[in-house]
Structure 1
Amino acid sequence: MSLRASAVELSALRTEEIERMYALYAASYCDTAREQFGKDLDDKTHCIVLRGPDDVIQGFSTLKHYTTRWNGSAIRVIFSGDTIVDPAHWGSQQLAFAWIRHAGEIWREAPDLPLFWFLIVKGHRTYRYLRAFARDYAPRAEVQTDDDARALMDHLATERYGHAYDCETGLLAFDEPQGRLVPALAEIPAAHRTLPEVDYFLKRNPRYTRGDELVCLCELKASNLRPLARRLFEAG
């Protein structure tokens, strides 16, 4: 099936498209509620939408662009919200390609202001995108997160989630589980367990099945991206 992906402002999504997005979300996560999904969506600014040839949404990734202050200077942040792809289309990379192109467009709007990708991860598939995109990111296996990166991660996570974030573990843990992966998606194939980044993710977030999320950070700039991601980032 031919798929295409593009970035849109949240305000451009039609009601029926949002309902389709929620249907995909509810098929992937436990603890779902349409009202909460809507509130989370209202907090975002953009969405990368994956569509089939019939224009039906087959996947999406929500984002929030914002500017904040850090160490006395302005920085820009892309916060990743929910990312869902219908399992029938897991082989497609169009959503990921559109995401990194969109990030490049944001960078070019103000190239002198640092741009960071801030994401919280409850599944190994999402965590693996960090290595696929970037040379340096945190946290990662066999590399000690430097003090500046750790402090910025702590700041962004505490600013957004307050007491739910634990600076010692780098994890978000909610009193009531939120958005646990359904068992079929939480299951990790044996072949994936042999991957170093998956092994590291499981050690850092051993309770991912109950909805705990690992806070991650990556600076988005051409010199920090792997060759394919860099080409997409620079091409916009």
Structure 2
Amino acid sequence: MSKLVAEIIWQHQLDAKLRQTMYDLYEIYYEGTTPGIFHEDLNQKNYIIALWDTEKRLQGFSTVAVWEFELENQAKRAIFSGDTIVNRDYWGEQTLPLAWCRLAGQIKAQAPLVPLYWFLIVKGYRTYRYLPLFAHHFYPTYRYPTPPEMQRLMDYLAEQKFGPDYDSKTGLIRFPISRGHLRGSWADIKDGYEDKPDVRYFLDRNPDYGKGDELVCLMELREDNMRSHARRGFMAGMNSEG
């Protein structure tokens, strides 16, 4: 299997053909979505990380929005991860997480003194497991309670983005009708993974993930909070020319 190549594309540079190719790939793995829902979400993003194989075929992508806001009299920024999928043939391949960390570093370099957070809503255990791989401290986790200031930040971002669909008591976003959830067997827990602490915690917090419920998660993107591989990508992005 050949290695994938990542390309960062501005959302406004996408043409209709690539948009359709992205949706076609997404629809293979997700149900409860429509072209309208998909493209509306895509229009709210700043960047797309596209994954190409050696024959320039799209094998995956992730969408990224950057928010600038003020909370408790402090300027802050957040990266919001949107629709993400990688062709099953390339699951476990690390091109996407490394490209994402590099892009996060480039975004941090735009305003290095302003706190930058990764705000993501998680509807699958595979995505949740990136948090302990990326960060020393992230929320929520079984390892330690969420500090009040981080909970306020999570609540603020979730309420701003999702309004009444967010329940601060559970930390879950529940849409009246699913806006996308993994199809059938793709949502199943891999054999032997049910007893992994992070997987068990995710399932306890978001038992109806298979219906499209999403768990609100957060980590701060800064050098000393990132683990080795993620930190290298992040710092490469911070030190790049763009």
TM-score bracket for the superposition, by shorter chain length:
over 0.9
CA distance in 2, matches of 1:11, 1:26: 22
Give the paired residue count. Answer: 236
2:74 corresponds to: 73
- 1:13 is aligned with what amino acid? L
What is the distance in 1 between the residues matched to 2:7 and 2:202?
A: 29
1:46-88 CA-to-partner distances (Å, cap 9, x unmatched) read 0111110111110000010120111112101100101100101
Runs of 4+ in 1 over 3 A off after TM superposition: none
For 1:207, the aligned partner's letter is D
Which shows bigger deviation, 216-225 or 184-193? 184-193
Provide the residue aligned with 1:183 in structure 2: 184
> Is the partner of 1:191 in helix, strand or coil?
coil
Which stretch of the first structure deviates more once superposed, 131-140 or 188-197? 188-197
The answer as to 2:33 corresponding to 1:16 is: no
| Percent identical residues | 44
Instruction: Supply the distance in 1 between the matched residues of 2:185 and 2:13 (Cα, whole angstroms).
Output: 32
Deviation at 1:173, TM superposition (A): 0.5
Residue 233 of structure 1 is matched in structure 2 by: 234
Structure 1 counterpart SS, 2:104: helix
Q: How far did residue 44 of structure 1 move? A: 0.6
1:174 counterpart residue number? 175
Q: Which residue does the alignment assign to 1:194? A: 195
The residue identity in structure 1 corresponding to 2:235 is: E
Q: List runs of 5+ in structure 2 lacking aligned partners.
A: 238-242
2:113 matched to 1:115? Answer: no
Deviating more after overlay: 166-175 vs 185-194 = 185-194
What one-letter code is carried by the residue in structure 2 that aligns with 1:38? H
Q: Given residue 2 of structure 1, which amino acid in structure 2 is its aligned partner?
A: K
Q: Does 1:204 align with 2:205?
A: yes
Q: Please state how far the C-alpha of 1:2 moved relative to its aligned partner.
A: 2.7
* Cross-structure match for 1:215: 216
TM-score, normalised with respect to structure 1: 0.98
CA distance in 2, matches of 1:177, 1:6: 30
**Which of 185-194 and 96-105 deviates more?**
185-194
Pairwise CA distance, 1:208: 0.5
| Residue identity matched to 1:18 | R
Structure 1 distance, partners of 2:8, 2:134, is: 18
2:152 aligned with 1:151, yes or no?
yes
- Per-residue CA deviation, residues 64-121 of structure 1 (Å, 9 max, x unaligned), is 0120111112101100101100101113110110000000011111110000000000
Counterparts of 1:17-166 in structure 2 under 5 Å?
17-166=18-167
Q: Which amino acid is 1:30 matched to?
A: E
Tell me how far apart the structure 1 counterparts of residues 148 and 89 of structure 2 sit (CA, whole Å): 41
Where 1:112 maps in the other structure, the secondary structure is coil
> Could you tell me how far 1:194 is from its partner in structure 2?
2.1
Paired residue type of 1:107: K
SS in 2 for 1:194: coil
Q: Distance in 1 between matches of 2:22 and 2:167?
A: 31
Q: Using the alignment, how far apart are the partners of 1:36 and 1:104 within structure 2? A: 29
Kept in 2, the 8 Å contact 1:7–1:99? The answer is no
